[in-house]
Amino acid sequence: MISSAKNHAHIILTLVFLGISVSLLEPIMGWILILVVCAVVMRSALYLDLHKHAPSVRTLNLLALLSAIVLAYFSFQLGVLLGMINLLVLACSLKLMQLRSIKDYYQLITCCGFLIGCGFIFQNSIGFSVFYLLLTLLLLLSLACHISPSLGLNKNLKSIAVMGGQALPIALLLFIVLPKIGPLWQMPTSKSHQTGLAEQVTPGDIAQLSQSAELAFRATFKGAIPTPQERYWRALVMEEFDGKTWRVSSERKAIKGQYKQYNKEFKPTLKGRYFSYDVIAEPTHQNWLYSIDIGVPDGPQNSSKIWHSHEYQLSNNGPLVSNFQYSLRSYPDTPLNQTLYSVDRRINLQKPNKGNPKTQAWVNKLQQQYPNDQDFINQVLAFFAEQPFVYTLQPPLMQTNAIDTFLFEQQQGFCSHYASAMAYILRLADIPARLVTGYQGGEMREQDYMSVYQYDAHAWIEAWHSDKGWQRYDPTAIVAPNRVEFGLRTAIEDAAELIDSPFSLNRFSSIAWLNDFRLLLHDIDFVWTKWILGFDRRSQEDLIKSLIGELTPKKLALFGLSVIALIGLLLAFFFLPSLHRRKVDCITQYYQKSEKLLAKLHIYRPISQGPIDFADSVQRKLPSSLHQPFNQATKIYVQHQYTKTNEQQNSKNKARIKQQWQVLKKAVNRQLKH
């Protein structure tokens, strides 16, 4: 019969597995989650004695075969990473149902530890990190209860807490000093995990994105902070238009690929004032970055991982699968005219030949009245200002001749509607124009940092001037000036329309105490992101340099030896006191070994039970071949503990208890074989 301590170990392991599966809710398929729930319910029923028998091996083998076939069918859609995680969760569910031997238990413990590590691929916020830490401690508690069932749950819990506290300073030291080596391979991800902006925009897409209160990135400024009108965070440039959807130009991609192949990065000449800042971008599984024009990497380490292209767009060498920190300088007074003019003009004058006849006729008439490009642009902006346009997240559908319908009938839309219409109008007038998507605004937390959310997503246009290059125009700022000055929430009449999640604290920012609590959580998350998730190689070098000065091989070697010595001192401080405890004598050792032999037969001595009472209970449970040598060993142990014996008698007792232990060991081995 399995002991209560072993039952505790199994139910704790079951709860840990359930917690891991819940945290991996998004990447795990629904039918595998159903198997997880079935396994947890079955193990809980066994723990509560609501059910007596686990499924047979034949049943589990059949279930495993059917599940493997179904998972193999879906694996091509999932990709390698998600397929492996689903396979591991599936295997753990079946192993939890089968949990019978010590081998099964250890295998499940190992797999749960690996799944906790997989959880950090998808979630690395401070909340989930604390959650995974608790799951790890519970996993260790389950292991302690299984290995030392006689100690009881409370003592095992105390032991795990003490060891966790002892490991914490050593873990912090290793976190600081171990080299920050990049991944040896790129983790594959599915398309379902791409978040934020996309490489194509249809009017209405950004409106949907702007109903999300998820964080896009944070920026920390080292000096002057840009005014609200200067907070245009560039991300993507759309130059290909089919009449409905704007896309990143395929020709531009090919040109960028050629420049990367020959390592000819675009390096603009800079002038005027600049903003210096650090950006911590959230994972998007895309490689574009955010900057205020014109943004350039600040420092050689940033230059090596950021690519600057001719459309003034910054990108990382690989997709952002985790928080990514980089430093920039932006020069807002530098004109955007240092580019491939012939390429820019050819790409950004392309337009669909059919559709929107009213707009084409209106542009022809307006161009005859205002042949000068700047006068024409001013009249287009005046049109947006004079007509009764409405800025809304929920415009009506405009499926055919969308720009005609938007300009002359509905006159309701979001930023992408206005930007798309104006860029199309300028191209009809033979003025090169393109759509730029990114973010506008940001919530400043005093002078510490700026948070930019998905609902700050924005679209504007750039038009070409022969003497100034690309110039930014934002028709949304004409229709809804509050959008640029005070942010999106002030430009929307119904604030509840903005945030799609009913549990987001951003919905209640008008309530003072809830807003203070929201900002406190953001402060905690910022510190965690900057100093833990953002602790990269550069941060590590800066920290070590502040401690030891210039980084020379000799100083680094001495620093490494000092850290090793400090860890050794900590270990000595933790474990030297135990060496001064009274050494266990030989007779006591053999008695304890005898108890461990009985533990193999799932017979344990409770802490509150004395040796003689325990020997009596063993006599009632086991045959004579087992209980007799244990009874003799118990008598010798009790005599040694509670009566005075001379050295000669003590030597005889050592030989006798060793002999009884050997007899018991052979009997237990025979019992296990049968």
Residues acting as catalytic residues? 415, 458, 474
SS3 539: helix
Element (H, E) at 236: strand 232-238
566 vs 44: CA distance, rounded Å: 45
Q: Which residues pair with 218 in a beta bridge?
A: 280, 451
Rounded CA separation 140/161 (Å): 10
Residue in 74, 77, 305, 321 with CA at minimum distance from that of residue 187: 321
Is residue 437 left, alpha or beta, with left meaning phi > 0 and alpha meaning psi from -120 to 50?
Answer: beta
Find the angle CA(285)-CA(289)-CA(293) to the nearest 5 degrees.
160
d(CA 372, CA 182): 54
How far, in Å, CA of 326 to CA of 320, rounded?
12
Q: Give the largest Cα separation in the chain, rounded.
A: 123
Q: Do the beta carbons of residue 459 and residue 437 sit within 8 Å?
A: yes
Residues 220, 449: contact at Cβ < 8 Å? Answer: yes
- CA 207, 211, 214, 217 dihedral sign is positive
Joined together, the tokens standing for residue 467 give: 């003497």
Helix%, strand%, coil% for the chain, nearest 5: 60, 10, 30
| Nearest-angstrom CA–CA distance, 458 and 414 | 9
β-sheet with 291-292: strand ranges across: 291-292, 232-238, 433-440, 457-465, 469-473
Q: How far apart are CA 547 and CA 563, in angstroms?
A: 12
What residues have CB less than 8 Å from 125, skipping those under 6 apart?
Answer: 525, 528
DSSP state of 609: S
How far, in Å, CA of 254 to CA of 251, rounded?
5
Decide: 90 and 32 in contact? Cβ < 8 Å: yes
Q: Which residues pair with 219 in a beta bridge?
A: 279, 450
d(CA 486, CA 379): 26
Q: Which residue spans within 8-81 are E strands per DSSP?
A: none
* Partners of residue 330 on adjacent β-strands: 275, 295
Residue 555 burial (C-beta neighbours within 10 Å; 0-12, 13-18, 19+) = middle
Alpha helices (H) along 210-305? 250-261, 300-303
Q: Cα–Cα distance between 419 and 18 in angstroms, integer?
A: 48
On whether the CB atoms of residues 109 and 142 are closer than 8 A, the answer is: yes
User: What's the first-to-final CA gap in the chain, in angstroms?
Assistant: 16
